Amino acid sequence: MKNKIKSWILLLVFCFSLVPFGAGQAGGPGRTFAEARSLLYLGGVFLEDEASLDTAVRFPGLMAPAPVVRQAEGAEEILNRMIHATKQERNDHDANCRQLKIQYQSAGDQAAVQKLTSYCEGERQRLSNRISFLRRLRGGDRRKLLTHWWHSVKRGSANFWRRIGPLGRNILRKVGDEAFNTVASGGSLSGEVVRRLAKQVVKSQAREELKKVVYRGVERLLRGQVEIARAAGVLEDDGEGDDPQFLEGDVDQFDDGVLSEDEVQESAANQAEEEEDCPGDSSWVAPYWDEVIQPQLVAEGRICQQTAIAIYKSCLQDQGIQGVCPEDALAHCDPLYRAIPRTESSGTVTQKLTVMHSEAQNIAASLVYNGSGGSGVRGKISYILQDRHLCTIRVTSTLSGTFDLDTCTLSGTAQVTEVYEGTACASVCSGGSCPVTRSASVPWQAILEDGEISGGVNGNGSSVSGFGFGTP
């Protein structure tokens, strides 16, 4: 009897030891900047219209007859938007890291560069891991069998409640649309009042603003970390002055050696001479940008590097606001100008692509264009769609068009052929008439942004369906 009591007490003690008292009390801030930053990016992405997302939902309709996936609509849309937000976050993170690195190197602060490098690499890895995990979830939820099963049951049951319960009917199918409607109207305005988001109207400006806010947050965070590391004696300052070799190497990874900063500085100096006095504000930046820098960027094939350009422009504006003369401002921001990568070589560029559809398989896609712009853009995209109803669609398309270097857009006409196979393609193969072949000539458009292509073939108003594509 005594042994029995002892056994029970031991079991009880063991069970208590399993309770995670004090879990999550790790060192460092619990409420991190990274969490707030991720929310900031995601908050904006849900208000973007679907057309601006680099996902399968850009041109709906290809796999339209699939009413069973109602619950998945909302869930998949959320995953798409999370991936999009994380990609934006990672792009801006990279740009901010580049800018800060140049800033610290210019100041000869190698200790800060050291801290920055480890922070940047860690954050980049974290964001990349997040993207690949979210992609895996979107591409068929390859979680462990039990987890997968549990999620299927939850989905099925939630669908059941949606049909019969008033609570369930609040579950959203199109999350972005509802979020936008709620923001624009609060659910209280009549349909006669039309409201648009100012952020959407001034899109590029809003993106630039977002980057600057995040940049300032990161700058402060790193300054704090460097101070802490120095106080703890972890970082050693290695003397005053630049490390020119290191700086050159860092900048030159984006540069092919033909630099134009001398010309830019010369023009600025001339302008400053003409003005006799310093303007003392940033009023000179906008006209100087339009007249000198913008054409220069186009001429040098750097114009499609929007993020790096925005950082450079922001540097000039900051200098202007601080009352720095144009000559000095241009000299100060010159490393950032040199860091703007040349996207385009003057020769032929072949870009591998992927199709933005979670059910696309056997994708073979590429686009060939001339780096200095003009006609002669050509491409081929082929893939197979196999939905859960065993409907197989083989899609092949041949693209031709032009590359407008001023706007970084590629556009033209695509000859799209779809072959529907399998009797389950109910909307097309009714009466067992499969295989059915559909073919049409439709427009396509893509944008080259920061060296990455994203675009789509627009099937609206034609017998074929559209699809999105982009750099993998």
452-459 CB contacts, 8 Å cutoff, 24+ apart? 453/351, 453/353, 453/367, 453/410, 454/54, 455/410, 456/58, 456/59, 456/356, 457/59, 457/381, 457/397, 457/399, 457/414, 457/416, 458/59, 459/59, 459/61, 459/62, 459/416
Q: Find the part of the chain contacting another protein (CB under 8 A) among 61-69, 118-126, 173-181, 235-243.
A: 173-181
> In which residue are the tokens 């009549």 written?
190
Q: Which amino acid is at 144?
A: K
**CB 317 within 8 Å of CB 285:** yes
Q: Which H/E stretch holds residue 443?
A: strand 436-449
> In which residue are the tokens 């630049």 written?
242
Q: Pick out residues in 231-270 that bind another protein (CB under 8 A).
A: 231
Residue 72 sits in the site that holds another protein (CB under 8 A): no
Residue 168 sits in the site that holds another protein (CB under 8 A): yes
Residue 99 sits in the site that holds another protein (CB under 8 A): no
Q: Which amino acid is at 92?
A: D
What sign results for the dihedral spanned by CA atoms 19, 25, 30, 34?
A: negative
Q: Which of 65, 70, 74, 409 binds another protein (CB under 8 A)?
A: 74
The two tokens of residue 366 are 């590429």
Q: Which of 171, 384, 440, 447 binds another protein (CB under 8 A)?
A: 171
Q: Pick out residues in 19-58 that bind another protein (CB under 8 A).
A: 28-33, 35-40, 42-44, 46-47
Q: Which of 225, 372, 415, 417 binds another protein (CB under 8 A)?
A: 225
Residue 294 sits in the site that holds another protein (CB under 8 A): no
Q: Pick out residues in 299-328 that bind another protein (CB under 8 A).
A: 314, 317-318, 321
- Per DSSP, what are the bridge partners of residue 392? 386, 421
The two tokens of residue 125 are 């890895």
Q: Which of 107, 160, 328, 404 binds another protein (CB under 8 A)?
A: 160
Minimum distance, C-beta of residue 231 to another protein, in the bound complex (Å): 5
Closest CA to 44 of 202, 266, 260, 192: 202
Q: Find the part of the chain contacting another protein (CB under 8 A) among 170-178, 392-400, 411-419, 448-456.
A: 170-178
Q: Pick out residues in 195-214 that bind another protein (CB under 8 A).
A: 195-199, 201-202, 205, 208-209, 212-213
Residue 144 sits in the site that holds another protein (CB under 8 A): no
Residue 90 sits in the site that holds another protein (CB under 8 A): no
Q: Pick out residues in 348-407 that bind another protein (CB under 8 A).
A: none
Residue 145 sits in the site that holds another protein (CB under 8 A): no
Minimum distance, C-beta of residue 76 to another protein, in the bound complex (Å): 11
Q: Which of 175, 356, 365, 393 binds another protein (CB under 8 A)?
A: 175
3-state secondary structure of 302: coil
> In which residue are the tokens 């409640």 written?
161
